[in-house]
Amino acid sequence: MKLREALQISHRPQPDGEPFSLDLVTGFEPLHLRVFLSAHVRMRLRTDRQVLVRTGLFGDFSGNLERTIQAAGAGPVIVTLEWADLHPLLGWREPAFVAAGFDEPVFLQEIETRLGQWSRILAGADQIRIVLALPVLPLPPWVGRNLKGQRSRLVLELDSLLSQFARDAARHGVRVIANPVMPAWDPAKHLMTGFPYNPVFTDALANRIAEVAMPAAPKKGLITDLDHTLWRGIVGDDGSDGVHWDLDHQARVHGWWQQFLAALAGQGTLIGVASKNDLEPVAAALARKDLLAPVEKLFPIEAHWLEKTESIHRIAAAWNVGLNSVVFVDDNPLEIDAVRQAMPEVECFFFPANDPAGVAELLERLRELYGVESVRDEDLLRVASLRQRVEIEEHLVGSGSGAEDRFANLGSRLKLDLRRPAAPRALELINKTNQFNLNGSCWDEADWQSWSARPEARVALLGYEDRYGPLGNIAVLAAEQQGENLMIRSWVMSCRAFSRRIEFATLQCLLECWQCQTIQFDWRKTERNEPTAMALRTLVGELPASGILEISVAALRKSLPLLYLDNCEVLEN
């Protein structure tokens, strides 16, 4: 992005509402970084708004950090550290006297003390999304005594102190960015204006910060081909022992791919297989003990001679996710093209089996698409519960007198977490759930935090388990209590929890916790929320396309189907 484009984006009038605010902590004049940041963050907002970037005082990094953290709002805080903020001797712009008797240990102790102070400030701000950019400017040559071709001990000590600071910050939830690798410094402008970076680097830095401060939802599933992708060789021709993924057979890149899939599966990403093959040799190869990919996590396996597009449809249906959450990887460009044309929502990647550098690049790119900040219990349960879903639905959705008995014997146990602030999983579920979703509305993290801190806001995060096992946290209900009325703004439930009447049990339990006489649902029909519509029809009858649906608590209680809860645990502050 050019500076002029960034200015245009950041100045563009917003339709209505408050601007989005964030804080930028620097010791240098923030100048163009402020503009680029405003533009890049605006482009990532779910609803278009101007971005107000609040900055501090020139040359006072410590004070700016302290004041900003104390007064931080719901928006992210961006901290951009440079060497000069640690000590004037480490900067280029302000004069610093280098005494003949420069005492290195005392100097390093001073730096360590300063970093320790900042570390404590950051540690006390774990409710704020903080993004930290570490120094990129070169250290001046008067720091350390370099011998040719050798790094000085002082510089190594400084690097070590800084790494320790970054590690401690990351342990407290601070997002430390990987700085863009490119020339950053513009010495002439730095001396003239106090702003150190050239425009190209500033654009890249602001983009990187915005990516981390306002992360996109990760992809949910990856569909891999087998022959010449998961392994080298054609399993139908070469047999299950004739396909390889090791160094000895010049097939290590396929081992990389398998290890990568194992890592994704370990964080809860869904991994499916789409292969034009007979099932028998595929099953034999996948049963090999030396397979590095987690075969128990490969679900479903579509091995047949139908088109790949058909396989992808089937896999997405089994996962119950939209095609835009799916990535497809294949070594055959024709298959890639066919999928791209028929399913433009699916992101497709060519597996360059004969190009290790290309495979490494592919893995790096995919790593970004599947980046998650933490792995929760429900992420690890996902594949198992998807496998069980069909079985459970067949078991429960039968007709006749036995159906109620089956519900009664489910052994349902709910856990309602009403604590403030709501766990991060609540917002994550609201923003990624499509089918059981009251209105499809998404929230920016800052808006969510600001709204949920209001006294009238109520948030319930629902955990569930039954005799089939735990599903983890699978539903969220966010409402506003206005006197005797409860207005439900967001209500979502994971598709893994369908067919168990959990949605109705949620309402029944919440009515005990949130006293009210009427309930309103902020309903809007979307392309995919028919499951929500079905539940609401049970409660209020026919639905409009959108609008506020109101029902008295007494009427709602009468509308609820029979519910069988063994236990409902409520967690409150």
Give contact residues for other proteins (rule: CB under 8 A).
2-4, 7-8, 11, 31-32, 35, 188-189, 192-193, 195, 199
C-alpha–C-alpha distance, residues 461 and 369, integer Å: 26
55 or 559, CB closer to other proteins? Answer: 55
C-alpha–C-alpha distance, residues 359 and 451, integer Å: 44
| Shortest Cβ 48–other proteins spacing (Å) | 16
221 burial level (CB within 10 Å; 0-12, 13-18, 19+): buried
* Alpha helices in 239-332, H assignment, sequence order: 252-266, 279-286, 308-319
Q: Tell me which H or E stretch contains 532.
A: helix 530-540
42 or 129, CB closer to other proteins? Answer: 42
| Shortest Cβ 208–other proteins spacing (Å) | 20
Q: How far is CA 329 from the centre of its chain?
A: 21
Residue 407: both structure tokens together: 């519900």
199 or 358, CB closer to other proteins? Answer: 199
Strands (E), 99-182: 130-133, 175-176
Provide the residue type at 111 as one letter. Answer: I
1 or 487, CB closer to other proteins? Answer: 1
- Peptide bond before residue 300 is cis, with ω within 30 degrees of 0: yes
| Shortest Cβ 39–other proteins spacing (Å) | 11
| Shortest Cβ 50–other proteins spacing (Å) | 12
11 or 167, CB closer to other proteins? Answer: 11
Main-chain phi, psi angles of 136, to 5 degrees = -120, -15
C-alpha–C-alpha distance, residues 451 and 457, integer Å: 7
| Shortest Cβ 199–other proteins spacing (Å) | 6
| Shortest Cβ 186–other proteins spacing (Å) | 10
Provide the residue type at 398 as one letter. Answer: G
33 or 426, CB closer to other proteins? Answer: 33
32 or 244, CB closer to other proteins? Answer: 32
C-alpha–C-alpha distance, residues 50 and 37, integer Å: 11
| Shortest Cβ 2–other proteins spacing (Å) | 6
C-alpha–C-alpha distance, residues 563 and 184, integer Å: 62
CA angle centred on 224, ends 223 and 228, rounded to 5°: 165
| Shortest Cβ 4–other proteins spacing (Å) | 4
4 or 454, CB closer to other proteins? Answer: 4
| Shortest Cβ 362–other proteins spacing (Å) | 33
5 or 373, CB closer to other proteins? Answer: 5
Q: Tell me which H or E stretch contains 110.
A: helix 104-123
| Shortest Cβ 315–other proteins spacing (Å) | 45
CB 231 within 8 A of CB 251: yes
Among 250, 245, 180, which residue's Cα sits nearest to residue 211? 180
Residues 6+ apart with CB under 8 A from 34: 24, 53, 55
CB 77 within 8 A of CB 37: no
